[in-house]
Structure 1
Amino acid sequence: MLIYKIFTQRISTGVALFGLGVLLALVAELPYGGWYQLPILSIVWWLLRNEMSQTTKQYFAYGLIFGLGYFLIGLWWLYISMHDVGGMNPILSAIAVLLLSLYMASYFCAATFSIRYFKQSQIAGLLLASSWVVAEYLRGYIFTGFPWMGLAENQFTGPFSLIAPVFGGLACTFLVVWASWEILQIRTHPIKRAVMLLATIALIQFTGKISYTKPFGEPISVRLIQGNFEQSLKFNPQAISQQIDFYVSEIEKQSANLIIIPETAFPWPQNNLPSGLLNYLQNYSNTSLSNLLLGLVGEVPSDQGLQYTNRAIGLSPNTAPYQYDKVHLVPFGEFIPPGFHWFIKAFNVPLSDFARGSFDQKPFSIERKNQASVNAAITICYEDVFGSELASRIKHNKEPVHLLVNMTNLAWFGQSQAPTQQLRLSQLRSLETGLPALRATNTGITAVLGSDGKLLQNLPEFTQATLAAKIQPYSGQTPYVRWGNLPILSLSVALLIWGFIRHRRF
């Protein structure tokens, strides 16, 4: 009877943790989802704290189950790209999503071990938060990194997002984990914990009133063209011609300071595009005084001959063409990690091994008649996930950056939550840098964001339309752009070292 009771208790705890992971992923899509994170995480910490007597393997399993529930819900749309679009075997596609989710969950699991290790510490909440920050940082760098579905981007609708311009998204993560632990302690020290929580939230809100960037010149007119072409059409020669004709026609309908089409909107390699197409668009730029950003497939020389790149071409009036090649590539989608070519053979999609662009590419200069040019930092799709890389580019650019531009094609992921997830990431990037942003996408979400990350205008998903708007450029650098992740990582590592020393001493 005792064995049965212990066995059923372990199962129920595992089911509860899995369900809380699922719930944590689901509330991210709700208004004020960042607030809902706090009580959910508090319950997770309570369950894990109650299981501290379990063996190391059992405790590891509990943490892994929680993370698995979170990432399976958050990343299920990868199945669409592999099976529905890529034609990969459904079982193999499901296994791939499961394995990736398990790998992501292992970082969560490692972070939760601080609850067990520092169980007697008076600063257990700070140590748990520090562990989580270090785990999230490593998740964003090991094997080129995959920091998607972190806790920080969900804080855009929560209480701690306004710390992002100062210390970045990892600081949001630190405060979420610490605050959720403090909520758990309210029953034992109600006044002390409540005052600490309320004072911290109030301080963050006050800090958010400080502006580190300021308007630069006059607003510019923009047109963001959303083609809404299915991904399957990207490899159909006849459909490719129709897509090119559509985008050229839309570009010519009305001039603007800046006209953007999405990532790989021209899906053919640059040298295979219709003869004279880019020259024709350059002439249009010259006569209309419009700056154009075009997503296409580039080509660069390599040891094996020509290699493809995910490229943005910029055309400005009477100026040499601008070129940006994507730097941070998607594992398996855009480059093949060593030893995994067998996997790509099952993933029946061409152009899956791209070359990387250099990190020090300059921003795109948007020319304006009788006014100073506006410089835009370009990111292509997945690059919007890496806030520290974008901040570093802005800091080290010789020319100041006034605007962020993200060119994206999320048709790979169908009608899933992937577009809203990336929108939140873009909002966090604007908040961290204090710069407005433009998102030009194939199927959505095409949007204009303010320098505070707030959504100013957007197009409905899965519609063929053009968003015409005005956007105010900004100048200046936030503390996060200047310092990056160094302050929050230094604090987290210092706290963990202190925690380990005190633990060994006592």
Structure 2
Amino acid sequence: MFTQQSSKFIFARPLLILFVLGAILAGVAELPYGGWIQIPVLALIWWQLEASHSQKLSFHFVQGLIFGLGYFVVGLWWLYISLHDVGGMNPILSVTAVLLLSAYMALYFSLASLAIPLFKKSKWSGLLLAASWVIIEFLRGYIFTGFPWMGLAESQVNGPFAPIAPYLGGLGCTFMMVFVSWQILRLKNVFYSSIFSLILASLLTALLSQWQFTQPTGKPMAIQLIQGNFAQSLIFQPAGIQKQIEFYNNAMLETNAELIVSPETAFPWPEPNLPSGLIANLQRFSNQTGSNLLFGAIGRDASKEDGREYSNRAIGLSPDSPPYYYDKNHLVPFGEFIPPGFRWFINAFSVPLSDFARGGNNQANFTIARKNQAPIYAAITICYEDVFGGELASRLRNSPEPTNLLINLTNLAWFGQSQAPTQQLRLSQLRSLETGLPALRATNTGITSVVGPDGKLMQALPEFTQASLSARVQAYAGKTPYVIWGNFPILSISCLLLIWGLIRYRRF
């Protein structure tokens, strides 16, 4: 009996350690220098994964799964708020849903971690592990429409490898994080080789930080970002809808900034059914003051053949111009479209959810008119569309006009007082790093903010306050290598490394 219990403990202890280390890795991302702190934590995780004496890949797979589960449970726990607190879902079902999603995300980490036992004897194991992680992270952001939230890359807006983003994007940052953390682990065995690799990585990062690919264009622009701070439950009540519409309408009419932005679904009602004359009055205001307005609403197109006539829409109004429309393209599963076979899951909510139509892949930029100056072109994203760096780079690359500014409209009231707003802010900062463009974030409950072209947070409103952010923002012009090439270079490098590694593995 003692022997069996001891055996179970010996088996369970490393799994518990990995779960805790995964949770710590997710937690430290929220700290001011989280991108630096995560690197030694990753080294500890690699040490624990490598320490296993089991030769079975299945055991290594389980280890990676437990590490990933700890990471995603801590990083995505806020989904419970939207499911239970806002959606009214049964607590047990809500917890189960968060655990299942975390376990699914952890599968990708476990697959990437298999590179450790596969290439354990190779002196190139650090490069092969980094390549494996890049490929798996790319797939995580692509399969089943993708969910790349809580990747390693976004912490690098506060970390050492931010200069990699304009060249190789977030996946390039991920590659460097994994490689360098592995070299820290290998210091105990191959000290000089690892030191050389660490110095080389540092010099490369410092060298790449010397170039800037976008430049200021035009004069700084006066902007106003409006944060209404309306509880999500209000938009399911007629009185709450009316109150929210009146607030955002009045707030936009009370300023004459060159650009006035309200968040996603600021008007939480189908556009044709909004109060009579509301849009026309806002257009007259734009014509008279020269202000450009951008706000969220529910679009409606009854001609859709698939029955999905509604869309998550941004509406732009510029002086003496027809309205601009941007319909969200990358929809949220369950929240904005219902995957086949999951209608029962949606029925468990006590609030109405939508099955929206998708907007096109390459919709036009919003043209911001300026008096006696060239217009500014802004790429619009709604909600978590700014999570997908490759998609945004593709839009900018294929746009017929230059892009000078990024604007994200979002509503994170679904997730209450959690780390979800700071996580999405870091993702927006990463998008600015990748593209070399400033970003504006207009949110309902926070974090409404201005991000510089270098990914630095310039101004922000406190969360859960009803306020407006006034700022002067400098537009930029130009394209970074990442915008021009997208993920092709880092994916090509990673694939070639893995193919070479697997060929050597089979040979030996």
Q: Give the TM bin, normalised by the shorter chain.
A: over 0.9
Amino acid of the structure 2 residue aligned with 1:292: L
Indicate the residue corresponding to 1:44 in structure 2.
Answer: 45
Indicate the residue corresponding to 1:372 in structure 2.
Answer: 374
| Gap runs ≥5 in structure 2 | none
Counterpart among 415, 419, 442 of residue 444 in structure 2: 442
Aligned-residue offset at 1:252: 1.5
Q: Distance in 2 between matches of 1:52 and 1:223?
A: 59
Aligned-residue offset at 1:305: 4.5
Deviation string 1:408-462 (CA, Å, 9 cap, x unpaired) is 0000000000000000000000000000000000000000011101011110000
What are the residue-to-residue correspondences of 1:122-201 with 2, within 5 Å?
A: 122-201=123-202
Aligned-residue offset at 1:54: 4.7
Q: Distance in 2 between matches of 1:335 and 1:466?
A: 32
8 Å CA contact 1:291–1:316 kept in 2: the answer is yes
Aligned-residue offset at 1:221: 0.7
8 Å CA contact 1:408–1:439 kept in 2: the answer is yes
Deviation string 1:214-272 (CA, Å, 9 cap, x unpaired) is 00111111000000000000111111111111111111112011000000010011111
Amino acid of the structure 1 residue aligned with 2:351: V
8 Å CA contact 1:226–1:443 kept in 2: the answer is yes
Q: Distance in 2 between matches of 1:203 and 1:426?
A: 25
Q: Distance in 1 between matches of 2:308 and 2:133?
A: 42
Q: Distance in 2 between matches of 1:333 and 1:209?
A: 42
Aligned-residue offset at 1:342: 1.2
Aligned-residue offset at 1:192: 2.8
What are the residue-to-residue correspondences of 1:173-322 with 2, within 5 Å?
A: 173-300=174-301, 301-303=303-305, 305=307, 307-322=309-324
Amino acid of the structure 1 residue aligned with 2:325: Q
After superposing the two structures, state which structure 1 stretch, 83-92 or 349-358, moved more. 349-358
8 Å CA contact 1:52–1:59 kept in 2: the answer is no
Secondary structure of the corresponding residue to residue 18 of structure 1? helix
8 Å CA contact 2:308–2:356 kept in 1: the answer is no
Q: Distance in 2 between matches of 1:133 and 1:297?
A: 36
After superposing the two structures, state which structure 1 stretch, 181-190 or 456-465, moved more. 181-190
Q: Does 1:30 align with 2:31?
A: yes
Indicate the residue corresponding to 1:107 in structure 2.
Answer: 108
Amino acid of the structure 1 residue aligned with 2:15: G
Aligned-residue offset at 1:383: 0.1
Q: Distance in 2 between matches of 1:299 and 1:260?
A: 21
Aligned-residue offset at 1:198: 2.5
Indicate the residue corresponding to 2:65 in structure 1.
Answer: 64
What are the residue-to-residue correspondences of 1:382-397 with 2, within 5 Å?
A: 382-397=384-399
Q: Distance in 2 between matches of 1:28 and 1:22?
A: 10
Indicate the residue corresponding to 2:79 in structure 1.
Answer: 78
Indicate the residue corresponding to 1:500 in structure 2.
Answer: 502
Relative distance call for 1:195 and 1:305 in structure 2 (3 A) is closer
Aligned residues: CA RMSD = 1.1
Aligned-residue offset at 1:473: 0.3
Aligned-residue offset at 1:58: 2.2
Secondary structure of the corresponding residue to residue 371 of structure 1? coil
8 Å CA contact 1:52–1:116 kept in 2: the answer is no
Q: Distance in 1 between matches of 2:188 and 2:112?
A: 24
Q: Distance in 1 between matches of 2:138 and 2:164?
A: 17
Amino acid of the structure 1 residue aligned with 2:58: K
Q: Distance in 2 between matches of 1:116 and 1:41?
A: 16
8 Å CA contact 2:412–2:446 kept in 1: the answer is yes
Q: Distance in 1 between matches of 2:98 and 2:490?
A: 31
Q: Distance in 1 between matches of 2:460 and 2:207?
A: 29
8 Å CA contact 2:346–2:353 kept in 1: the answer is no
8 Å CA contact 2:131–2:175 kept in 1: the answer is yes
Secondary structure of the corresponding residue to residue 114 of structure 2? helix
Q: Distance in 2 between matches of 1:333 and 1:319?
A: 33
Amino acid of the structure 2 residue aligned with 1:267: P
Indicate the residue corresponding to 2:363 in structure 1.
Answer: 361
Deviation string 1:172-198 (CA, Å, 9 cap, x unpaired) is 000101111100111122233123212
Counterpart among 409, 412, 433 of residue 410 in structure 1: 412
Relative distance call for 1:129 and 1:304 in structure 2 (3 A) is closer
Aligned-residue offset at 1:2: 4.8
Q: Distance in 2 between matches of 1:351 and 1:33?
A: 35
8 Å CA contact 2:225–2:468 kept in 1: the answer is yes
Q: Distance in 2 between matches of 1:469 and 1:491?
A: 41
Indicate the residue corresponding to 2:434 in structure 1.
Answer: 432
Secondary structure of the corresponding residue to residue 368 of structure 1? coil
Q: TM-score, normalised by structure 2?
A: 0.98
Aligned-residue offset at 1:206: 2.5
Counterpart among 457, 465, 468 of residue 466 in structure 1: 468
Indicate the residue corresponding to 1:401 in structure 2.
Answer: 403
Deviation string 1:296-350 (CA, Å, 9 cap, x unpaired) is 1111232254621000000000000000000000011110011111111112332
Secondary structure of the corresponding residue to residue 454 of structure 2? coil
Amino acid of the structure 2 residue aligned with 1:119: K
Amino acid of the structure 2 residue aligned with 1:125: G
Q: Distance in 1 between matches of 2:292 and 2:94?
A: 41
Indicate the residue corresponding to 1:451 in structure 2.
Answer: 453
Q: TM-score, normalised by structure 1?
A: 0.98
Aligned-residue offset at 1:62: 1.1
Deviation string 1:58-109 (CA, Å, 9 cap, x unpaired) is 2221111000000001000011111111111111111111000000000000
Q: Distance in 1 between matches of 2:433 and 2:28?
A: 21
Amino acid of the structure 1 residue aligned with 2:93: L
Amino acid of the structure 1 residue aligned with 2:342: F
Q: Does 1:16 align with 2:20?
A: no
Counterpart among 342, 346, 349 of residue 347 in structure 1: 349
Q: Distance in 1 between matches of 2:188 and 2:20?
A: 24
Aligned-residue offset at 1:203: 2.0
Q: Distance in 1 between matches of 2:190 and 2:114?
A: 24
Q: Distance in 1 between matches of 2:427 and 2:449?
A: 13
8 Å CA contact 2:22–2:67 kept in 1: the answer is yes
Q: Distance in 2 between matches of 1:360 and 1:375?
A: 14
Secondary structure of the corresponding residue to residue 309 of structure 2? strand
Secondary structure of the corresponding residue to residue 362 of structure 2? coil
Q: Distance in 2 between matches of 1:52 and 1:420?
A: 39
Q: Distance in 2 between matches of 1:448 and 1:46?
A: 39
Q: Distance in 2 between matches of 1:495 and 1:220?
A: 46
8 Å CA contact 1:406–1:439 kept in 2: the answer is yes
